[in-house]
Structure 1
């Protein structure tokens, strides 16, 4: 029974029972959720964005994920619901004046206290370290504590004054129940947006087709008003066609009148005597000199 040295083993050393479930340190989990990016596991740096499920990300990490969606990335499952940059909201955070950051840690001989939050609620002043519930408004991106929204009830944002609804309030790093509620809201919102797009497309096509038909075939009002216009056009064309004909006829008549001799006209003898065609203007060769120009005025 004995082992070397005369030791006697106990039962728990020989028989192995079920493994104990490792408990996650709550403080470490809170530090990871509120100080590190969910996608890249790097420290949160501005600009900081949040998705519709209330998780925090670095904006650069989200852009890189959208540009390169490779299946090798295990952390990509945490952001699988982000389809475009429009699915995240850039947060407007208020700095904590008591947070010093890592300014004194230049030599590496100072402990960086991650329990002190970098940001606070601008209304109540609570630190955003995970011990208090925080939420942001999807319409403007302002971040508040849940206590501030409950104590100061308003339909307008406390900092920027933007109007918001209950659907715009999203809890940051909420519990599993909160995530389920936010997920159902997100799916309903996206379905509603798809239906609105589908309804807008046929309306736009109908408006375009109606405009084309109206250009090709005028309506009854245009048809009624179009008849007198057409008649006016016809009369104008007839006038323009008849105008040159009348002018030609007038020219022919004037030509005939010009060719007609004045002696045959019904004018008086005094008027006829002014022209060379009158009998008084005609002289014989003997009466007229050869050097005198023969006109009606040389008598």
Structure 2
């Protein structure tokens, strides 16, 4: 078989050499990163969110992942650093007026520009198709091209006017080196937040323990004499001296204990009430019965007196 008709085989047809390295299509790779969700591999649709590493996701896909992390997903490693919905920021994107949708060339009779993107930079007008570097601000979520941030240097957002710092700028779909740098910054921020939360808990414990210490410590008062000298005296000691002086002055009269505002006092001990008023209550001496007046047995509903 073969070599019929005087054909001469060449060397590459007879000897098997090393396999050629498959090259990835650049346009297909850019479309996969900038037009599709990094988690669900579905087309990006609003609302679109991004993490601290600059990856693009559909918000619905992120919420489904956070609700059920045990489910098997093909791109589970991409979102392994997400702990909650606060770790992502919803992006404020600017629509491209030239974007006509995916079905703009249904008949196939017109040129289809693969570089046309859904969103553009609101300052410079560059399309967000992967050929230009884009960033977003963690403070407000507005998306700009890197060229716009370099040409118009300001500390206020060009779109919404919120202030921001250089630390708040995150590169979207950056290189491997940029992603590693963003990962270090993310870990440092999380470590700082943990260090800030711990002192707050210790302060709460201290405030709870302070009132008990104050109850145990005796109360003291400061008095200023005519010479200008300040002398401190415990309230308990002063109260004892006052009570001692009262006992010595009223030795002949018996001092009745004053009732506390929350305690109950018997009506019979009230001097301001008359005897007629006191006799209306069962605690009066006239209402008490002797042994002869009481019966020897008691029923559930006694009809004797």
Q: Could you state the TM-score of these two structures normalised by the residue count of structure 1?
A: 0.71
| 1:226 matched residue in structure 2 | 235
Distance in 2, Cα, partners of 1:176 & 1:141: 22
What's the CA shift string for 1:180-233, capped at 9, x where partnerless?
111111111111111212232222222222233234545655994634873598
What's the CA shift string for 1:140-164, capped at 9, x where partnerless?
1111111111111111212222221
Aligned 8 A contact 1:37 1:43 in 2? yes
Aligned 8 A contact 1:39 1:79 in 2? yes
Distance in 2, Cα, partners of 1:83 & 1:159: 29
Number of residue pairs matched by the alignment: 243
Higher helix share: 1
2:65 corresponds to 1:65 = yes
| 2:214 matched residue in structure 1 | 214
Distance in 1, Cα, partners of 2:75 & 2:221: 66
Which aligned pairs between 1:53-202 and structure 2 lie closer than 5 A? Answer: 53-70=53-70, 72-102=72-102, 104=104, 108-109=106-107, 113-202=113-202
Distance in 2, Cα, partners of 1:74 & 1:145: 30
Aligned 8 A contact 1:51 1:87 in 2? yes
How far is 1:5 from its partner? 6.0
Q: Could you state the TM-score of these two structures normalised by the residue count of structure 2?
A: 0.69
Query: Which 10-residue stretch deviates more, 148-157 or 108-117?
Result: 108-117
How far is 1:61 from its partner? 0.4
Distance in 2, Cα, partners of 1:71 & 1:202: 38
Aligned 8 A contact 2:219 2:235 in 1? no
Aligned 8 A contact 1:2 1:8 in 2? no
Structure 1, unpaired ranges of 5+: 245-250, 252-299
Alpha carbons of structure 1 residues 5 and 149: separation in structure 2 relative to 1, 3 Å: same
Query: Which 10-residue stretch deviates more, 1-10 or 18-27?
Result: 1-10
Aligned 8 A contact 1:135 1:169 in 2? yes
RMSD: 3.2
How far is 1:100 from its partner? 1.6
How far is 1:40 from its partner? 0.4
What's the CA shift string for 1:73-124, capped at 9, x where partnerless?
221111111121111111011111121214646xx54587542111111122
Structure 2, unpaired ranges of 5+: 223-231, 258-270, 272-305
How far is 1:126 from its partner? 1.6
